């Protein structure tokens, strides 16, 4: 394994373009380069959520206010806390491949109704050809990396898993809790591969994961979202645990599948997920989209037409086009 790089600051980072941004989540994803390093990088910056504890610290330390306006009893200010309390959750992906960039890049979306035939003949071959490296997952399962971040582990080779914070969570504020359960088995790519042989594994994740979260973070099972993504962001079976009040990405109807529902569906029919029609959204920039388009499964003609109009339905000017 290549030596891992630890960055000390962003003074050498050159921002080349914004891949995506979310004003609601106070998050921005940027493509760029480090002056002293070869290859592309992805930088993800996200403002941390407020908690009662850090608000008390912010207000109790030296800080400054810049007045914007005052109207009667209402005052509007810009607040500048001390640097130690103004941290931004930061993720750096280096070196980043084109696949990483496409994953984070905002694009026009389409809903796909994926049948078993589409999965086996188009989706699966595309996954095997272009999937991102899973080395970082294996490093965790083999206890080569992030051992200090592991919250719980069931070390059974077939029915065990490791529970640890997702990269999107700082591991501190229960209000934004986001954990991942990584299965020890290395031959399960997604819910498409699940059947009744995996019920013990799935029940272990549901019951043991929920129990340790309640013990450690005082969040009971009925206050958690516990779900799979389909398609997943990486093809090693994993389960998401998030606090129900946290507005986590990827909980929309075409992406999230409740772990409880998955267990119940498999109990009804062992091969439920290998034969079901599963919905998912896909960006036009995705290579899989091109393969689906060639097969006549999707059509991007209308989206090209829509790009000529603004959000009010008015035709854009020639300069904008």
Report, as residue numbers or ranges, the catalytic residues.
238
Using CA atoms in the order 247, 97, 282, 182, what is the torsion angle rounded to 10 degrees? -50
The closest of 212, 187, 211, 207 to 197, measured between CA atoms, is: 187
Contact present, 192 and 146 (Cβ < 8 Å): no
Neighbours of 307 (CB within 10 A): 12
Cβ-Cβ contacts under 8 Å for 190 (sequence gap 6 or more): 228, 230, 231, 232, 235, 237
Return the ∠ at Cα 31 (arms to 29 and 33), rounded to 5°.
135
Reference 298, options 284, 279, 313; nearest CA is 284
What CA–CA distance (Å, rounded) separates 107 from 187? Answer: 31
Q: Which residues contact 234 (CB under 8 A, 6 or more apart)?
A: 131, 132, 134, 137
DSSP assignment of 106-145? ---EEEEEE-HHHIIIIIHHHHHHHPPP-HHHHHHHTTSS
Q: Which of 117, 137, 135 is nearest to 125 (CA)?
A: 117
Burial label, 19 (beta-carbon count in 10 A; 0-12, 13-18, 19+):
buried
CA dihedral 196→201→203→209, nearest 10 degrees, is -160
């Amino acid at each position: 394994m290549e030596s891992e790089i630890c960055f000390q600051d962003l003074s050498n980072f050159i921002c080349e373009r914004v891949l995506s941004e979310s004003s609601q989540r106070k998050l921005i994803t940027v493509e760029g380069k480090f002056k002293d390093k070869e290859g592309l990088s992805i930088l993800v910056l996200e403002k941390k959520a407020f908690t009662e504890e850090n608000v008390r610290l912010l207000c109790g330390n030296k800080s400054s206010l810049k007045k914007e306006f005052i109207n009667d009893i209402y005052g509007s200010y810009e607040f500048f806390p001390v640097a130690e309390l103004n941290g931004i959750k930061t993720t750096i992906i280096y070196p980043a491949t084109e696949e990483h960039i496409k994953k984070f890049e905002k694009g026009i979306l389409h809903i796909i109704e994926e049948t078993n035939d589409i999965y086996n003949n188009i989706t699966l071959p595309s996954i095997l050809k272009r999937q991102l490296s899973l080395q970082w997952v294996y490093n965790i399962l083999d206890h080569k990396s992030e051992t200090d971040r592991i919250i719980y582990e069931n070390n059974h080779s077939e029915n065990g898993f490791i529970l640890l914070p997702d990269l999107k969570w700082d591991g501190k504020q229960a209000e934004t809790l986001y954990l991942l359960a990584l299965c020890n088995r290395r031959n399960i790519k997604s819910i498409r591969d699940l059947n009744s042989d995996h019920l013990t594994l799935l029940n272990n994740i549901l019951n043991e994961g929920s129990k340790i979260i309640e013990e450690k973070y005082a969040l009971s099972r009925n206050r958690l979202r516990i779900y799979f993504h389909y398609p997943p962001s990486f093809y090693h079976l994993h389960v998401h645990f998030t606090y129900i009040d946290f507005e986590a990405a990827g909980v929309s109807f075409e992406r999230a599948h409740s772990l409880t529902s998955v267990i119940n569906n498999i109990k009804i029919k062992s091969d439920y997920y290998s034969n079901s029609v599963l919905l998912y959204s896909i960006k036009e920039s995705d290579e899989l989209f091109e393969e689906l388009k060639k097969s006549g499964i999707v059509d991007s003609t209308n989206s090209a037409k829509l790009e000529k109009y603004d959000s009010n339905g008015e035709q854009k000017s020639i300069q904008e086009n």
